[in-house]
Amino acid sequence: MSAASSAFFTHYGPWAVVTGASSGIGRAIAVELASKGLNTVLVARSRAALETLAEELATRFGVEARAVAADLGREGALHAVASATRDLDVGLLVAAAGYGTSGPFLDASPATERDMLAVNAGAVFDATHHFGNRLARRGRGGVILIGSVVGFQGTPWSAHYAATKAYVHALGEALRVEWAPRGIDVLLAAPGPTRSGFSERARMTMAAALDPTDVARATVSALGRRATVLPGSLSKLLGWSLATLPRWARVRVMGRVMHRMAGVGA
C-alpha cells in the first residue's frame, strides 16, 4: 500500500457507509473506495443488487462488504443502518441516495415529491447527524454529500428537485466549517447529468451525460482537498459558464436547459 493510500485508509477507514449503493454514482463510489482498501456498508432498497455488489467487492478487492436493505424515504430507516454498523469503526459516510423529478411543478404528484424530499434531504440530515457524532467521537473521518449542478440556483421545470439539492449544498458548506476542527472533512460533489437510472425516473432526455465511474474517481480524489467538486468536464462547463452570471440569469438559463431535457411542451 502506498503512503497516500495508507493515509487515506487511516483517516477514512476501515469502514465506509455508502447510501444509494445499488446503482449509479453511489455504486461507483463504493467500488472506488473498495479499490482503496476500505470495507463498505452498502445501503439501498434492493437487497439483491447490494448482495451482488458486496460479493463483487470482496472478490475483486479482498475487502469486507455488508448489505443493508433500507428505504431511506421511510421514517426510522436510519435505525436499520445504525444497528448494522454499531460494531464497526466507520470513518466515512457517502450520502449518495436520491432521485429527481422534472416537469411543471403544478403537475407533480404531491406524494412523490414528499418522498423525494424525505430521501434527498431528510435522510441526508439523519445520516449526517448520526455518523457526524460518531466521527466527532473518533476525532477523524469524512462525509461526502452528493449535490447537483441544479442545486446552485433555482431550476424551473425541476423546481422541487433543485430545492432538495440546494439543501444538501447549504448543509455541506456549513458542516465543512463546523467540523474541520473536529478532524472531519466534508465534501460536496455537484455533478451534472450522469448516466444512471436517474434520468429514467426523472423522465429526462440527456444528449450528453457523465459516466458514474468518472464522477466517483473525481469525487473521492477531492476528499480532504476541496470543499466542492464539479466532477467531469460537463459539470465544470455548466458550473463555470454560469458562475459569472447573476443569480436571476442562472435561473433562466437552467430553466431553458431543463425545459429541453424534460421535454416540456413537446
- Print the SS3 string covering 52-91: HHHHHHHHHHCCCEEEEECCCCCCCHHHHHHHHCCCCCEE
Q: Which of 12, 36, 99, 161 is catalytic?
A: 161
**Cell numbers describing residue 96:** 449518495
- Of 12, 36, 99, 165, the catalytic one is 165
Four-CA torsion 60, 61, 67, 71, nearest 10 degrees: -90
Residues 6+ apart with CB under 8 A from 98: 20, 116, 119, 120, 146, 164
Q: Output the DSSP codes for 235-254.
A: HHHHHHHHHTS-HHHHHHHH
Q: Distance between CA 148 and CA 161 in Å, rounded?
A: 10
d(CA 219, CA 227): 11
167 is a catalytic site residue: no
Residue 165 appears among annotated catalytic residues: yes
Q: Which three cell numbers stand for residue 137?
A: 467521537
Q: How far apart, in whole angstroms, are the C-alpha atoms of residue 230 and residue 212?
A: 13
State how far the Cα of 41 lies from the Cα of 189, in Å rounded to an integer.
20
Q: Where are the alpha helices (DSSP H) in 149-231?
A: 159-179, 198-202, 212-222
Q: Rg for the chain (alpha carbons), in Å?
A: 18
Cα dist from 1 to 35, 37, 90, 196, whole Å: 11, 9, 20, 32
* Residues catalogued as catalytic: 161, 165
